[in-house]
Structure 1
Amino acid sequence: MAIDVAIWWLRCLSFIIVIPFLGPHLVAIGKMLQDLVFFLCIIAVVMIGYGVASRSMVYYPVENGFTTKTNGSIDNSFDGRAVFHQVLYPVYYLLYSQFGNELQNLDNNSDAGWSIATHVLLAFHMIFVNLLLANLLIAMFSKRFDEVHEDTQNIWRSQTYLYTREYYARSPFLPPISLFYDIYYLIRMFVFFIRRTCLKHSEDSKAITFKIVPNNKSIVKEWYEFEDSATYEHAYEKVKEWKATLEKSKLEFDSGNKVKKVQNDNNSDNKAKKDKKVPNDNDPDNILNSLKEIQNDLSKLKLKIEATPGDVNMAS
């Protein structure tokens, strides 16, 4: 009854799978459990190897610290309980760095050869398991969580659909009446299996057929050839359309570049014209310069006239 209650509480986790920010995390936990199975296969081999080797060196010498306490009697029973108690249990708790009496017993017999060998074996085991494999498991979990986090929305939608589909396909009756519905469903499947295999009848008449199955199996090859040719022709037409579209877009792109270049040239010319100064006759500076030039010309002319007085008659 207690185990049933625990399973029921775990089953309640499926109710929160429709929540957007909690459902993907449950999916990540499920994928992590798959990675954990792979990790347990590796760790089981390592644990059994160390457990058998260390127990054989510690418990089975003729005389050591363990056998003298029991007056030389050695428990060499090989039943399941003894194997778990002497081989698997101590090694399993080493994963959590719980040594128990492991190190104390080895330190009490530090001069014995079997103790030194077990010390070395324990050191390599702790390095391989607690450092290498533990970090490998953490890296696998991190990678799996990142994959789920990147596709959160799609995972949540698919899980919501599967959850709704589960209630759609489930028996409409509550337990224990649903047991009779399950029995009926199994009998129905068995009957259709007999009809399909032994009596060579068709399947359920109400079932939906998504593929035409010919009576003559030689036609199947011709159908496959027809499908291949039709698919190739369709793909060829699509490639032609894509190629024409690509060439058209390329021409439009080239013409657009040319138009843009002409516009840029025109803009450059207009800018140069604007930057160039055009003389203005009404500018006071220009008028003043013109007057100065005229005065200079008149002064030069007067000097020429004074230089030749006989040739010119001055009027008073």
Structure 2
Amino acid sequence: MALITYNLLKAVERQTDDKVLKTEIQKYIKKSSAMATGILNECAQSDDTYTNQILTLEIQFWQMTCIELAIKSKHMEFLDQLAVRNLFGTVWNGKLEDTTTLKFFSCLMCPALSLKLLNYKTDKSTTHDNPGEQPAPKKICANLGKIKDFLQASKTKLAYNLISYVMFLSLFAYVLLFDLASTISNLEYVLMTWVLAILGEEIRQMATSNEKKEYFSNGWNIIDMCTIAMFFIGFGLRFKHFQDALDWPRVVLAVDFVAFFFRLIHIFSVQNVLGPKLIMIQQMLKDLVYFLVILVVFVLSYAIASHSILFPDSPFTRETFLQIIRKPYWHLYGELFLEDTEGSADCTTDVRLWTNGIYPRCPSKTGQIVVPIMMAIYMLFTNILLLNLLIAMFSHTFEAIHKRSESLWCYQRYFILKEYGMRPVICPPLNICWHIYDLVQRVCCRHSTVEDPLRFDNDEKRSNSARTDAKESTIIEINYGMLQAHLPDLQKRVRTLVCKVYGDVDTIVEKTYSDDDDPHFGLRIIQMANTLQSLWKVVFPFSNTSSTFRLVKYLEEKSEISFYWKHLADSHTKETMNTIQQQICDLETRIDVLYNLPLHLLQRNSFDKYIESENKTQSERTETMIKTIKRRLNCLTKQEEEFRNAISTQLKDMKAEIMESKTKQEEEFRNAISTQLKDMKAEIMESKSKQDEVFQITILSKIEQAAEREDEFRRKVYV
């Protein structure tokens, strides 16, 4: 559910442009991501096998596995967990254990060597007895099974397909270089057959994909189809004779060979060092497109301006357009064409001579002066500024991808594992026979010969969950000597199932047998089979599978002696007890599922109706969730408007208060200033009056003193 929540939140985030809502959604995305990774790590610490089954088990109603949900939403943090890496390693190796490269390639040359050089994961769990004591037919079957496991491993299929593809490219190169004559050779027909086999594999991938959009969303598939179509065009042109000098079939096939060779890069993504580099190249190509948009502005502006000055009044021809673009483009790589700019010794200004191509045209005198200056400025911007900008963009892209290279590699590895895990063992061009066989199986038997390795492989239309497989993994091989010790445990498990279904053991178990009454265990096993059949009749109507009851043949035996000789004597004990244990595990799983369902659901006639109702309920839940999200978006927009209105009102009130306080403060300030001015004026007037009185007194005293001096002077004169 955490992954489903993550997917839904990602989808909502892509559909909204509200930054506030995006921030809120990203918080919940982080929470759901942390929850998903935390649950995965907890499961991985308890049991790796059970964790792998959970990751590859199809989620009901969503028709997707946990891995597919993480891939669809590009949940890199989830894909970077150790449990997911271990799962991919298990699918990559198949039933093989890790080995050296030399041993693996030796086994590729001779698959029979895998019996001696390689170790199989099933050896430890299946070889309870001494292998030397096994009969010869069983040894042969076991060895053939090991060789089959080796051939069906994903890395084995990739290795064989890589070898086949290299052989195809070698043959293609030989035909291009040495055998592409005027007549069509036999090797070309072999190439045609090989390409048809590759086309058949692409058609199989398209047919087995869940949606055609999913197939064409992968860029490598588009490259494959275009490459194959180009080969058919080139091969078809071989039947037509061209009169002109240009050999069109050779050109088309040569370009197609480059495209086929380029397809090898996709195989490198399986390697943890080269895989992230491919993503870097892809992102750098996007950066290069943006750079070219800027570069075109500089190139075209300089190209047209420089050519119009160097060669005025040029004729409107194709060669003129090529000359306009050719020089500025090669300037980027250091080719300056100085002889064309400055003029060579054998150039001419005669229109008839340079028009016919006898002599090159001489540049104008103005161009010889102005264009070198323009070239210097152009080279400064393009070779120094723009190219360094491109290098900086590439460096930023490299650092950003290098930080999450491990998670990106896991994301790439998923598609490689899915592609080669579902491919047949037989490589092109021999896989045509296998495609015909697979088509017959799909049309007639409604059954595919190859299954998805990243989906949990359930028998009986995947009806049993991972819990069934976990329970069946506890089944042990019981021989006749061990029967006395293990039979009470099986009886206890059956009684527990009876209690869950009927609530009382005595409802269907009417009689028990002691060891004295049943010395050969026959009556007790027959009674157990009858009890399991009664349980099966109750559980089967609620099952959505077409599985059958396994113990029918044991119910036909009425005599203990005949049951013993047919099903318990000699080597029959293991088969009988394993069948009973499998039936018990199957019922335990089904009853556990039904036991946890609500009571009203158990009253339905069929479990299919429950599935249909749950599908409808799930779709209604999805619609309700979408409506709720839209309603919340509308509420958020309304709240945002209310918030903005409240803020604007508060701002207006604050502005009015500020203006009022400002006017009051201005009035008080003015009054204070006027008061201070009046006081200062009064003080000045008082001081001025005082100064005037003092000045007058001083003047009068000085006048009196002058008068006295004058009187004294006159007296002295008269005397």
Pair member with larger Rg = 1
TM-score for the superposition, normalised by structure 1: 0.49
Q: Which has the higher contact order (CA 8 A, sep 6+)?
A: 1
